[in-house]
Amino acid sequence: MDPIPEVWLRGPIPGIQPYLQPAAHTLQQVREDIEPEVQGLTTDQLWQRPGGAAAIGFHLHHLPGSLERLLTYSRGESLSPEQMARLASERTVHEDRPRLEALLARLTGEIERRSIISDPFLKRPCCRSGR
pLDDT digits (tens, 9 = 90+) for 82-125: 999 999 999 999 999 999 999 999 998 888 775 555 555 555 55
- 128 pLDDT band, cuts 50/70/90, is very low
pLDDT digits (tens, 9 = 90+) for 29-62: 988 899 999 999 999 999 999 999 999 999 999 9
pLDDT on residue 124: 52
pLDDT digits (tens, 9 = 90+) for 61-71: 999 999 889 88
CB 38 within 8 A of CB 64: no
Strand ranges (E), the chain: none
112 half-sphere exposure, CB direction, 13 A CA radius: 8
* Category of 40 on φ-ψ map: left (φ > 0), alpha (ψ -120 to 50) or beta: left
pLDDT on residue 42: 94
- 129 pLDDT band, cuts 50/70/90, is very low
Q: What is the DSSP letter of 74?
A: H
Per-residue CA distances from 80 to 68, 77, 85, 86 (Å)? 11, 9, 9, 10
pLDDT on residue 94: 93
CB 64 within 8 A of CB 106: yes
CB 57 within 8 A of CB 45: no
Quickly count: other Cβ atoms within 10 Å of residue 59's Cβ: 16
How far apart CA 100 and CA 50 sit, in angstroms, is 18
pLDDT on residue 120: 57
